[in-house]
Each structure stands twice: as C-alpha cells, then as structure tokens.
Structure 1
Amino acid sequence: MPLHRALSIATLSLLALSAHAAEVLRVLAWPGYAEPEQVRQFEAKFNARVELTLVGADDELWLRASKNHGQNYDVLALNTAILQTFIDQGLAVPIQRTQIPNLKKQLPRFHKITALSRDGQLYAVPYTYSEMGLIYNRKLVKTPPKSMSEMWNPQYRDKVLAFNGSAHNFSVAAMQLGYPNPFRLSPQQIANTTRKLVDLRQNVFKFYNTPEEVVDLYRTNSIALIYANYGGQQIALLKKAGADIGYVIPNEGALAWLDCWAILPGAKNLNLAHAWINFTLGKEMSQQLVNQQGLNNTTQESVNNADNHKIIWLEPVENAAERANLWARIVGGHKK
C-alpha cells in the first residue's frame, strides 16, 4: 500500500475516532452527590466522560466556580443562598424546563421556590436538602442537648467538631446572640458574632470539611458534639461506623440548606448539562441520596420528619466576603 494512502487512511481513522470520542462534562459537587456507579450509568447512556470535582465548603465552591468567570466547569451543585450571588455575577445561565422532563417527578413544593428563578427564567433545579442539627455522643452527653449553645459549654472544651465554613457559622453564632435575622447582620452585630466564634474556637477540636473526615476524627478522638453541616448524611456515615450517637434539632431551630444544580457560563455542551440534571432526578440518583447518603431528595418526603421542626432556610448574607475574611482569621488562630 502506498505510504500516502496509508497516511490518509490513518488520518481518516483518527478523525472518526475523534468524532465519536466521549464528550466531557465537568461537574463541581459535594461528597455523595454523584457516586461512581451512577456516574458510570450516565457516561454509558450519553457516551460522555464525567470529570467530578468535590468541594468541602461554600467558600471553596465559590472560588473554584467563579474563577475564569465560570469557564472551568459545566454544572455545579450549590445552595439557594449562594445561587443569588451566581445570578448577580452572571455565573449561572438559564435552564430550559423542557429539557428536564423529570421535573414532573419532584414534589410540588419544590416548584414554588421563588429563589430559583429571576425575570421569568429558571436558574437552578433542586436536588437535595437537609437541616443542620446537632449530633451528640451518647457516651459523653447523657442528656440530649436542647440548644446549639451547648457547643460553647466549657465542659466540652476540645470535644467539639464544627464545620469549616464562614457563612453558616456566623449565622449560627448570631442565633445564639438572639439576633432576629442571622443572615443580615449590622457592623456591630458582625463584631459581636466574631467574638462569639472566637469563644467557640476554645471548644473546637477541629473545624472539619467533609462528612468522611468527621467519621475518622470521631473514631480516634473523644468527641462529644458535632455540628451536622451535612445533616442526615453525617448521621448515616457515623452510625455505619458503629458510633453511638443521637441527633437533635435545637429548640431555637436549625439552619437548613437546599442544594440545586445550576449550569455555568463555561458549559461546552448545554444539552449534556441538561441531561445530567435530568438524570440526577431519576430513580437511581434520587434513591442513592436516601439509601446511601442519608440525605433527602426532592421526589419523596423527608426521611427524618425534619419538616415538623423549626427549619430556617439559608438566605444570602449581608457580606459574604467579609464573613469569609473574618472566618479565615478566626480559624487561623486555632492551634489544632
């Protein structure tokens, strides 16, 4: 065979392979939101390759997703509070309802959340939610706590695990100070709340990032209380590890997050991005949230009846950057 013909055939073969190469979908999400088995199913169904990046805090999510004006990822999971900032900054693109037929499987209340839309355009689709209560070690805490204020109790010095995130912690501390709106703090309230968090630092063994990290810390240390930033997901993991724990929603109520899928401006294939969101609302992904992660999905009622307690849905805060900067200083002073 002539060399030029062989080269031509090789070139055509490479082009054919390239034409059929799997498209890449870059997903930014939280631990447990996209397990390997479900990812493989999606990849096989849509001839795609999923590049999954996991985050452990809202601050990290923002830094990763906003870098390069949202060009580094296609789809991300974010809560309704931070969603507003994404929309304001042009970091979320409208979602086409007609491309997500599984919306009809969701409970009706998730179609009535005004924070998901703006100017008639849908910007996010609810995926999972949980309240953030207080986990306690039954061996060290004999009476179930009634308030999140127990995290400040001197008897639990160096025995508390708190979440490493600025927005939530300022809101929790603000609630302990009795401020009526923990998401909109005045400069003086911010100063007071900062001091409150510095006080908390004395009791905190470590500020954690992921639910898996909590399990490891619990196994090897004397931990009395855990702020359950991941809600039921942490409860399920700890119980699976054999931990003798209890869980309460404090009398003053608990903050709660609703995580949704949104599409970033850098999405290279909008059809594939919509296909991912639709797939996550299907039976496989929705059930793994409940059965494997201990979380709630949006297609069936809450697994722990949290809706019967006082739940405070997250809202945008007065100044996320200021909270993040102050939080970095607070954590920076911690010795653990």
Structure 2
Amino acid sequence: MIELTRRGLIAGAAATTLLPNVVRAQSSQVVVGTWGGDYGDLLRDGVDHAIMKLAGIDVLQDISGPVPRRTKLLAERQNRRGSMDVACLADFDMFAATQQNALEAVNETNVPRLAKVLPFLRKGSSIPQIYSAHTIVYNTNRVPTPPKSLNDLWDPKYRGKLGLSDFLFTTNTAFAAIAGGGSMTNFEPAKKKLMEWRSLDVKVLSSTEAVAAALKSEEIWFTIIAAARGFMWKQAGIPLGHVIAEEGAFPTLYEAAVPRNARNKENGLKYLDAMLQPAAQKVFATKMGYVPTVSDAPLEPDLDKQINFSEAERERFWKPDFAYLAAQQAAMLDFWNKDFKG
C-alpha cells in the first residue's frame, strides 16, 4: 500500500492546478518550418502577427533551407511527435513528402478556406499558398520586341546574352527538352539543346542574386526564372519584362502542409487556413509578385497586369510529372555538371 503523505497530496494538487496552464501553453503555439529572408518576413507580418496572434496563437518560425526542411520532415515521420506543425515547401518537395505519407489530409472541413482555392491548384495533402511560373525574363531596353518562342533563346544573334541560374538546372533542362520536341516525361531531347546553348556561350550563374546582377549590368539580356522574381527586380529598377512562350512555361507553386505527427495539429490547420486569407495572399502579391491561389483576393488592375496570367497562358502551363522528375533528377544533374557545364 502506498502511503499518501500531506506533502504528496499538496504536490499532486499543485500539479493538477498547473496542468491546464501547461496544456494551454502548448496549444497556443504553432511551429512553422519556413524560409527566412523576404518570405519569412512576409509570413511574419501577413500571417503570424496579422492573423494568428489576434487569435491567441504564437508562431515560432523554424527557418532553414528547403532541402534540410524536407529531410527533417521525412526523417521524423516515424516519430510519435514531429518538430514542425506546418512545413512550407515547393511543389516538388511537397510531392516527395506526400509519397511518403508524411502529411495530414486537408479538406474544406479542417481548412475551410480551401473552398476558395482555384480548382487547378487543389491537392489533397497540402494547400497552394502562392504561385508563379518560370518564364522568359528579358531586358526590355535591349529586347524591345518580346520573344515569342522558346527557340528564340537559341538565336545566334543573342550569343552570350542568355544567363541561367545553376540552381534551376531542372527548370532549364525542362525548357531545353520542350524546345527540342520533348515533354514533361521525356527530357532526352534536352541534351542536344543544352549543348547548343553551350556553343552559343550561355552563361551559367551561381545564384539567383548573380542572375540579377548580370541583368542589371546588361551582361545578359535574357534568363529563365519565375515571373515573380522578374517583377521584384523590376521594382528594384531593372528594366524587365516576362513572356509566356507559345510553347508554354513551367509553373512554380509554393505549398504548406501539416505533418501527420504534428504536436499542435489543430493550430497547424488553422495556420494553413490563415495563409489562404485574402489579406495574407495580397501581401505576397504586392511585395514578391506571386499570384494569389484563391478566387476572392482580387488585385489592383496595374499589379494584376504585371504578375498574373491570363486563362490562355495558364492553359499553356506544362504539367510536371514529379515522379518522372524525381527518377531523372540525378541523371539530369550529372549531365548538367559534366557535359553542359564541364
């Protein structure tokens, strides 16, 4: 028989009194795995403070790059509890997490704002937060007539004036594949077109920032990058435009999801809903040039003209086969490094 001492009873009573406070403290937080920089700042201003804080929920940002964030999400999926309540990832990385059954299903019951998401962006395990498309971005002073076709990027008169981000090797390979007659499930034609680019003195730049610097100095006149990025650089004073070629463009989508083993799953789902609020969507449109993913976040006409896509343009968006891309990624990178760059 266990003897219940007076001190033990007092301690037990104290613990019982404190327990609701502990539970409240845990349930009033949400940990969001995200990028830092402009993205993290806009989340903090447009979602964390403007929406979640008013609801009594404190947001803790877990800032890292997309690769370590995806790695952490997948590594923790067998744990009873993960370290993130929300994971923000690009569509390709989110596909990998979905394939590993690491994400909570989302629907209009647990994320009511899903009802406003544009149909072509809907998924079952994540919300589409913002989107744009990798397009041809060009210097409007040096190229007064916008290019019409992807093959304009192989025109000898522009020798040495195309610059590509090394980081976007998958996107660049996709453009080369389509220009060569391939598809989203056949990148083999990209090899010939990449080597043709090499013979035309294409510049491979080490980072997105290096691409911006080369456009600003007019070392290059063209690049392949998100239209949203071109908008940001234009706002910074570089004379740029973007065009969806007649062959189409590569959509780029940033998503958010709740891990199946999130500690504060309920708050994680509330966070997803907050990311889809019109005010939060418009912050990213105004500051970063990404298009809202919901139907009830209309933009000012001038901004809409600069960053949005017509229905006809969206019809020309390619539909990436992420399973194919995942299977081919190592081979693509090997050819990119050894043959194209080497």
Does TM-score exceed 0.5, indicating one fold? Answer: yes
Q: Give me the whole-angstrom Cα distance separating, in 2, the residues matched to 1:60 and 1:167.
A: 19
Show the 5 A alignment for 1:1-336: 20=25, 23-29=29-35, 33-34=39-40, 35=42, 36-38=44-46, 39-45=48-54, 46-53=56-63, 55=65, 62-63=70-71, 65-69=73-77, 71=82, 73-80=84-91, 83-107=94-118, 109-110=119-120, 113=122, 116=123, 122-154=124-156, 155-157=158-160, 159-162=162-165, 164-179=167-182, 182-185=183-186, 190=188, 192-200=189-197, 202-209=201-208, 214-220=211-217, 222-228=219-225, 230-231=226-227, 233-300=228-295, 303=304, 304-309=308-313, 310-327=316-333, 330-331=336-337
Matched residue of 1:274: which SS? helix
Distance 1:84 1:307, change over 3 A: same
Matched residue type, 1:139: N
Matched residue type, 1:178: G
Q: Note the alpha carbon deviations across 1:45-92, whole angstroms, 9 max, x for none.
A: 343232143547xx6764454344484543233455554432222222
How far the C-alpha of 1:19 sits from its partner, in A, is 6.0
Distance 1:313 1:289, change over 3 A: farther
Q: Give me the whole-angstrom Cα distance separating, in 2, the residues matched to 1:157 and 1:14.
A: 68
Matched residue type, 1:66: L
The one of the two structures with greater contact order (alpha-carbon pairs below 8 A, sep at least 6) is: 1
Gaps of 5+ in 1: 117-121
Q: Give me the whole-angstrom Cα distance separating, in 2, the residues matched to 1:37 and 1:270.
A: 22
Matched residue type, 1:204: K
Contact 2:164 2:172 in 1 (8 A): no
Q: Note the alpha carbon deviations across 1:123-158, whole angstroms, 9 max, x for none.
A: 122222222211111233243212223334443326
Q: Give me the whole-angstrom Cα distance separating, in 1, the residues matched to 2:286 and 2:120.
A: 21
How far the C-alpha of 1:306 sits from its partner, in A, is 3.2
Which protein is bigger by CA-based radius of gyration? 2
When normalised by structure 2's length, the TM-score is 0.74
Contact 2:113 2:276 in 1 (8 A): yes
Matched residue type, 1:242: G
Distance 1:320 1:298, change over 3 A: same
Q: Give me the whole-angstrom Cα distance separating, in 1, the residues matched to 2:319 and 2:38.
A: 21
Matched residue of 2:324: which SS? coil
Question: Matched residues, percent identical?
Answer: 19
Matched residue type, 2:25: H
Contact 1:80 1:314 in 2 (8 A): no
Contact 1:100 1:278 in 2 (8 A): yes
Q: Give me the whole-angstrom Cα distance separating, in 2, the residues matched to 1:125 and 1:161.
A: 30
Distance 1:203 1:24, change over 3 A: same
Contact 2:107 2:114 in 1 (8 A): no
Gaps of 5+ in 2: 1-6
Matched residue of 2:288: which SS? coil
How far the C-alpha of 1:25 sits from its partner, in A, is 0.8
Contact 2:172 2:224 in 1 (8 A): no
Contact 1:124 1:261 in 2 (8 A): yes
> Which has a greater percent of helix?
2
How far the C-alpha of 1:274 sits from its partner, in A, is 0.3
Q: Give me the whole-angstrom Cα distance separating, in 1, the residues matched to 2:275 and 2:172.
A: 29
Contact 1:165 1:327 in 2 (8 A): no
How far the C-alpha of 1:221 sits from its partner, in A, is 5.5
Q: Note the alpha carbon deviations across 1:237-278, whole angstroms, 9 max, x for none.
A: 111111112221111111223433222244221011101101
How far the C-alpha of 1:28 sits from its partner, in A, is 3.0
Alignment: residue pair count: 307
Q: Mean Cα displacement is larger for which, 46-55 or 251-260?
A: 46-55
How far the C-alpha of 1:96 sits from its partner, in A, is 4.7
Q: Give me the whole-angstrom Cα distance separating, in 1, the residues matched to 2:181 and 2:140.
A: 28
Match in the other structure for 2:4: none
Q: Mean Cα displacement is larger for which, 138-147 or 320-329?
A: 320-329
Contact 1:161 1:208 in 2 (8 A): no
Matched residue type, 2:126: A
Contact 2:134 2:249 in 1 (8 A): yes
Matched residue type, 2:332: L
Matched residue type, 1:157: G
